[in-house]
Amino acid sequence: MMRKTITRFVMALGLGALAVQPVQAGTQQDYAASFDAVLGTELRAPKDFHRAYSNPLEARIAQLADGGQGRIGVAAVDLADGHEITVLGEQRFPMASTSKIAIAATFLDGVDKGRWSLTSKYPLLIPVRSQPFSSAAAPVRKGAYLPAHELIERMITRSDNTATDALLAVIGGPEAVTRWVHKAGIDDFRIDRDIATLVRDDGEFDPAKHIDPRDSATPHAMVQLLSGLYEGRWLSKESREVLIGAMERCVTGKRRIRALLPEEVQVAHKTGSLNNTSSDIGIIKTPDGRAYAVAIYVTGQGSRLARENRIAQIAKAIFDGYTELAANDNTHWVNARY
């Protein structure tokens, strides 16, 4: 299904502060120099980044996603009409445990095709202590054998790494997940390591200042993934219900997407956390039946609590903005791509 991109604006390192008014020439030069010094010229925002934002929702998300204290990537789409907004939506961020949605989806697709079953039992893969970077893959040992449906429940609702690696081994490793996502038509996504290795070797780079392509995706790619899974494009009805149901029961990240939303709003999501980065991606469902796919990746900001607060504020602004747009029949959107 073709998505109509309403706005795609790229920003970092303080650009959010420019959301209300155009930048003066000197400020623009300072911004470009700062961005180039940290991330390089190839990742600089478009030359027209100094424009004033065209509606209050754009301006609000831009201000909240200010990159002055670390890169922040946001993508969201209203699944009823395809209206999408992004901030650094085409830039790579570490997925951390948000990749577990794709891992579960790859396994469930295999269930749909008769390769595996949800009742088959597989062993938890428990990390064995080893020094960081001492091997290409961190050593693990087999633990208790659990049915696949319980492994999915653990990996999504509680972010259980040992359950995740159990299913990752069954489906053929990280490369199998990357192939499945690419086959679904989503390019800006890759998994390179199992979770045991990812966690053991965490901290090699600061994601606020360095873009590591390994185990990364763009916010836009993750919104594409969420949208397709929610709409049943790749999985059977039964498999979709297994995955979305587990996301609805997720108990991690209470201070993230769901924190500032009204109680009657339902969130089906998956969190991620690694060195100096916190994330949350999922589906926000309103009582009147609308649904929004949201992916928020935050680096830096000084502390995990500060990153979580930024996620919560951005999610609330997206929800409020889309709610207002729906009430006003979207008449004040400007159909432009950036």
Amino acid at 7: T
pLDDT (0 to 100) of residue 60: 84
Confidence of residue 211 (pLDDT cuts 50, 70, 90): very high
Q: Are 317 and 61 in contact (CB under 8 A)?
A: yes
Count other Cβ atoms within 10 Å, centred on residue 122. Answer: 19
Which stretches of 99-248 are DSSP H helices? 100-112, 148-157, 161-171, 174-183, 195-200, 219-230, 237-248
User: pLDDT at residue 209 above 70?
Assistant: yes
User: pLDDT at residue 275 above 70?
Assistant: yes
Write the CB contacts of 135 (distance below 8 Å, at least 6 apart in sequence).
none
DSSP state of 33: H
Higher pLDDT, 224 or 325: 224
Q: Per residue in 3-46, pLDDT tens?
A: 444 444 433 333 333 233 333 334 434 434 444 444 443 443 43
Q: How far apart are CA 79 and CA 53, in angstroms?
A: 23
Amino acid at 5: T
The share of the chain scoring above pLDDT 90, in percent, equals 70
pLDDT (0 to 100) of residue 228: 96
Work out the average pLDDT over 293-299: 96
Is 5-327 in CATH node 3.50.50.60?
no
Angstrom CA distances, 66 to 59, 88, 115, 216, stand at 11, 10, 45, 21
Structure tokens at 285: 């469902």
Higher pLDDT, 21 or 234: 234
Would you give the end-to-end CA distance of the chain in angstroms?
Answer: 21
In whole numbers, what is the pLDDT of the chain averaged over residues? Answer: 84
- The pTM assigned to this predicted structure is 0.83
Work out the average pLDDT over 228-250: 96
Which run of H or of E encompasses 185?
Answer: none
Q: Per residue in 51-78, pLDDT tens?
A: 445 567 777 888 888 888 899 999 999 9
**Is residue 238 packed enough to be buried (19+ CB in 10 Å), middle (13-18) or exposed (0-12)?**
exposed
Higher pLDDT, 115 or 87: 115
Domain ranges, ordered by start, for the chain: 5-327
By residue count, the chain amounts to 338
Angle, vertex CA 66, rays to CA 61 and CA 72, nearest 5: 85
pLDDT (0 to 100) of residue 161: 97
pLDDT (0 to 100) of residue 265: 95
